[in-house]
Chains A and B, each alone.
Chain A
Amino acid sequence: MHDEAVVNMADVTVADYAANIRAYLRENMTAFKDVELDDEDNIFERGFFTSLFAMQLLHYVESTFDVEVPDDYIMLRNFSSVRRLADMVAELKRTAGE
């Protein structure tokens, strides 16, 4: 029971991160494409963003979720989809003991 409650809490938190990230990405997507954004979509490979946006995403993640992304996490793969971003934030929060 206790374990299940913890898991649910964690899921809710990751879902919250994902919702925030999804909204941020939608807000910053090009105004000329009306496209669906799935959580698993690779936002760079699908052409929603160029890698120019990666640094902005790094600043967004650090300032919005109050985490510090370590240098060995700084690679495009970790910033390439809503899911990967949310998972990374959750992992960094866990590591920080939050």
Chain B
Amino acid sequence: MSEVDPADVIARARSFAETELAPRAAEFDREERLPHDVVRRMADEGFLGASIPAKWGGLGLDPLAYGELTEVIGKACASTRALLTVHTSIVATTLLELASKRLKEKYLTALARGEKIGCFALSEENAGSDAAAVETTYTRKGDTFVLNGRKKWTSFAGIADLFLVIASDNGVTSAFVVERDMPGVETRPKSGFLGNRATHIAEVAFADVEVPAENLIAGIGAGFGFVVNTALLHGRYSIAWAGVALAQAALEEMCSYATRREQFGVKIGTQQLVQKMVADAVTNVAAARELCRRAGRFLAPRNADAAMETNIAKYFSSTIAQRATSDAVQVLGGNGCWSGYPAERLFREAKILEIIEGTSQLQQVMIADFGYKKYARKNQSQ
């Protein structure tokens, strides 16, 4: 197999994003669906297996290159980027890191090539931030596990072939790969969301679904501590880059508008209060991108500090994305509140990032705990 050049992958992604995604992103958002041709193209280009090693059918990009790819796609279309987050970062990467060789052979190559689409079935009515509280159950039955329960909203469940499902047996949480075609699996599309509208969100019900024992990921009881945390680590890394993408898009919108729009006989970009918003966006985008790269450098060798570095990047990036997109709406004024311009969509998409893959408040709790451990003086008499 020929060596993949990351720069070539990024260039192809940029061309695809600018010519085919960005012009259609508003349509995807309005119609609340990602057309099949877009998913197919993402697969054919190899993007859906971008971070998966060539051995398993992927492009083998390192975390830094994969992050840049995420930014390029995310700047053009948040829902298409969400496919990378869910399918590639969360499902495929978690299988790569934790699944048995048998399970990888069964599913990973098909996922990396985009022949099958994966989704992450975690959230439930009573299990949001408290993900360990899942009420979907599993019980052992011979060579199978039997799953029962309901997942409230699962991105891409409407089109996915495979579900990475988190379930509990009297508090012992485990993770399974469930196929859509297994008897007892049902999905029901949901709509009406603030953002990520084209991500085919669906409710998923499992009624006595018999899953082969070999579809267990890692060991019994590894569901929360290992599988969920691995999935969310890679999900957060992707969301961190998604924040950079939206903030960059917002920055370009506000700069383009401010240098064109005239009020009171002058371009509004010459007003110092507008300049403040632009200056903050320029600075914050640069800072967020560097934090993402820093997290990527920790992720590459699976450094134990990668999780905290990723939390920091995700927290900062999603926060400044919300700020930059809000400022873009402000600079565009009435036009910023109208779907004829991208600013309002960017604003809606950015808010989502402060909630998914761990709310900003949960990130703050974890980052503060890290701060106390790292920075509290050991000798408190000082």
Interface members, chain B 206-237 (any A CB < 8 Å): 217-222, 224-226, 229-230, 233
Asked if B105 is at the interface (CB within 8 A of a chain A CB), the reply is no
Extra 16 A-B pairs, beta carbons < 8 Å, given A54-B229, A55-B229:
A31-B376, A52-B225, A53-B225, A54-B225, A56-B304, A58-B226, A59-B304, A60-B304, A63-B301, A63-B303, A71-B217, A71-B218, A72-B218, A74-B98, A74-B222, A79-B225
Asked if B132 is at the interface (CB within 8 A of a chain A CB), the reply is yes
For A58, what are the chain B residues with a Cβ–Cβ distance below 8 Å? 226
**A75 engages B373 (CB within 8 Å):** no
Q: Which of A28, A51, A62 has its CB near the most chain B CB atoms (within 10 A)?
A: A51
For A76, what are the chain B residues with a Cβ–Cβ distance below 8 Å? 221-222, 225
Chain B residues with CB under 8 Å of chain A are 98-100, 103, 132, 217-222, 224-226, 229-230, 233, 301-304, 306-307, 366, 369, 372-373, 376
**Who on chain B is nearest to A64 by CB?**
B304
For A63, what are the chain B residues with a Cβ–Cβ distance below 8 Å? 301-304
**A55 engages B307 (CB within 8 Å):** yes
Binary flags per residue of A42-79, CB closer than 8 Å to B gives 1, else 0 = 00000000011111111110111000000111111101
Partner of A59, one of B100, B218, B302: B302
Question: Do A74 and B306 form a contact, CB below 8 Å, given A31-B372, A55-B233?
Answer: no
Partner of B373, one of A31, A52, A62, A64: A31
Bound-state CA distance A32–B229 (Å) is 24
Place the interface of chain A in its size category.
20 to 34
**A51 engages B372 (CB within 8 Å):** no
**Who on chain A is nearest to B369 by CB?**
A30
For A31, what are the chain B residues with a Cβ–Cβ distance below 8 Å? 369, 372-373, 376
**A52 engages B229 (CB within 8 Å):** yes
Partner of B219, one of A30, A51, A52, A71: A71
By Cβ-Cβ distance, the 8 closest A-B pairs, closest first, are A54-B225, A75-B219, A51-B225, A31-B372, A60-B304, A74-B218, A55-B229, A59-B304
**A55 engages B230 (CB within 8 Å):** yes
Bound-state CA distance A74–B221 (Å) is 9
Q: Which of B132, B219, B221 has its CB near the most chain A CB atoms (within 10 A)?
A: B219
Bound-state CA distance A56–B230 (Å) is 9
Bound-state CA distance A29–B369 (Å) is 10
